[in-house]
């Protein structure tokens, strides 16, 4: 073999080695990308931009293009539009419930003008009076001792320790004659008298006798979205429809009504789901929330978004893991057939809305973000580290209310010190430019 042949053979050998390295490198890259995507599902068709920069102390979600925000300058509330323009400024009140279907918001007003509620919040609450605001931010009714949000065109209000109902113009519709009152669903309104609870129509006539116990604080007494009223006999709960007919007789430990017409019922520490006719749709198979009175476990008030269907999805509690001191191990998401779609460790901040679930601190991640219907993780921008904690945070009309903070790492610890929180609104944008 001459020198030329040897050089040619060496060149071929080098080419084969280089080609093999390239092929193996590409194969390893494909494997890495595949498993990385499996372990860290992401969505690339969603982005975010600021609708209003984080400048507020607190903020309610947008409804019909309007949102209530608390300003740092005065510690009072203002009403803004989607452009951040002020519609109503410096309202000396706390917005307790944003706008109802009737377009009226429930607010608490201080009896002492100029008082800052942060000085002593308990004292502030004890010295408030309640009324309602329209979408121009104007008060539409007299001040009352207590008040409930509007439903079915009426709102329960208290005067001289007695409850009555007013209409959307602020006029008295049903006289002050009840010891306690909830709200109307359709033509059925829940009221209390002489220690018992019954139901009246909009003319003030008794429709269902006063035979039930006053609803406890952990269960809302009425669900306007589905025209249902909750009742209680002892520690057992049930549901009536607007005609006074049973959807679920009072033999359940807890009730879970969401935005979709599937109702969660808890019996013997298991949760199942029925439709608005009371037919069982999903068997009683999920882990229930311990009833009140058990000091070792929280009640439903601490897990407000569990077992409530919205957008064809509901959050459920996962069973306790072995050798764990926790009474549940995290959350799961099911569909309307009861199928478990995915699990997560996080703090849900609301129900599914517009195809997204808002959560904070899912497993293995420090920041807040969204899950889509399939469980794909969509992180929020890095500077958004905390969602607003005291109200529902959800995608509504393509907008999400969030908080932003400066962060400072404490030495090598994974914990963060938080300061300078400000609330604002993010616009959620899909790849096609639509929400």
Domain parsing of the chain, residue ranges: 1-39
Spans of the chain below 50 pLDDT: 4, 31-42, 293-299, 364, 407-419
Q: What is the pLDDT of residue 388?
A: 67
pLDDT digits (tens, 9 = 90+) for 294-330: 434 444 556 888 999 999 999 999 887 666 666 677 8
Query: Are the C-beta atoms of residues 238 and 250 closer than 8 Å to each other?
Result: yes
The residue whose two tokens read 């794909």 is 376
Q: What is the pLDDT of residue 418?
A: 42
- Of 251, 372, 359, 367, which Cα lies nearest the Cα of 305? 359
Q: Which two tokens stand for residue 180?
A: 């306690």
Q: What is the pLDDT of residue 358?
A: 92
Query: Are the C-beta atoms of residues 333 and 314 closer than 8 Å to each other?
Result: yes
Whole-angstrom distance, CA of residue 143 vs CA of residue 126: 14
pLDDT digits (tens, 9 = 90+) for 385-412: 667 666 678 898 899 988 876 544 433 3
What lies within 8 Å, CB to CB, of 145 at 6+ separation is: 129, 130, 158, 159, 160, 161
Q: What is the pLDDT of residue 31?
A: 46
Distance of CA 263 to the CA centre of its chain: 17
Q: What is the pLDDT of residue 137?
A: 87
Q: What is the pLDDT of residue 409?
A: 41
Query: Are the C-beta atoms of residues 217 and 204 closer than 8 Å to each other?
Result: no
Query: Are the C-beta atoms of residues 62 and 425 closer than 8 Å to each other?
Result: yes
Q: What is the pLDDT of residue 24?
A: 58
């Amino acid at each position: 073999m001459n020198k030329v042949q040897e050089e040619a053979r060496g060149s071929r050998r080098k080419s084969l080695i280089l080609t093999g390295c390239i092929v193996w490198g590409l194969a390893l890259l494909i494997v890495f990308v595949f498993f990385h995507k499996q372990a860290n599902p992401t969505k690339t068709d969603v982005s975010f931009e600021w609708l209003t920069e984080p400048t507020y102390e607190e903020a309610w979600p947008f409804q019909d293009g309007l949102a209530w925000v608390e300003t740092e300058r005065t510690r009072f509330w203002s009403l803004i539009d989607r452009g951040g323009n002020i519609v109503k400024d410096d309202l000396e009140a706390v917005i307790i419930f944003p706008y109802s279907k009737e377009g009226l918001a429930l607010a608490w007003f201080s009896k002492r003008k100029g008082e800052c509620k942060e000085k002593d919040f308990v004292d502030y609450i004890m010295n408030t009076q309640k009324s309602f605001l329209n979408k121009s931010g104007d008060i539409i009714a007299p001040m009352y001792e207590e008040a409930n949000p509007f439903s079915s065109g009426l709102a329960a209000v208290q005067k001289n320790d007695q409850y009555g109902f007013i209409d959307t113009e602020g006029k008295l519709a049903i006289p002050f004659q009840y010891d306690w009152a909830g709200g109307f669903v359709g033509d059925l309104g829940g009221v209390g008298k002489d220690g018992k609870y019954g139901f009246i129509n909009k003319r003030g006539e008794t429709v269902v006798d006063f035979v039930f116990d006053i609803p406890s604080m952990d269960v809302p007494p009425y669900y306007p979205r589905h025209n249902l009223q909750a009742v209680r006999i002892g520690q057992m709960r049930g549901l009536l429809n607007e005609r006074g007919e049973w959807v679920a007789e009072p033999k359940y430990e807890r009730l879970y009504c969401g935005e979709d017409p599937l109702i969660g019922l808890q019996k013997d520490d298991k949760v199942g789901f029925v439709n608005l006719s009371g037919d069982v749709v999903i068997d009683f198979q999920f882990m229930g929330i311990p009833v009140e009175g058990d000091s070792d476990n929280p009640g439903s008030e601490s897990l407000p978004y569990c077992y409530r269907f919205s957008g064809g999805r509901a959050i459920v509690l996962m069973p306790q893991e072995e050798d764990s001191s926790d009474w549940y191990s995290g959350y799961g998401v099911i569909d309307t057939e009861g199928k478990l779609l995915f699990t997560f460790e996080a703090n849900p901040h609301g129900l599914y809305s517009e195809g997204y679930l808002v959560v904070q601190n899912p497993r293995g991640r420090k920041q807040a973000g969204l899950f889509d219907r399939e469980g794909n993780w969509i992180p929020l921008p890095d500077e958004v580290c905390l969602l607003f904690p005291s109200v529902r945070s959800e995608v509504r009309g393509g907008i999400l209310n969030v908080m932003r903070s400066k962060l400072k790492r404490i030495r090598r610890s994974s914990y963060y010190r938080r300061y300078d929180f400000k609330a604002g609104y993010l616009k959620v944008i899909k790849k096609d430019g639509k929400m």
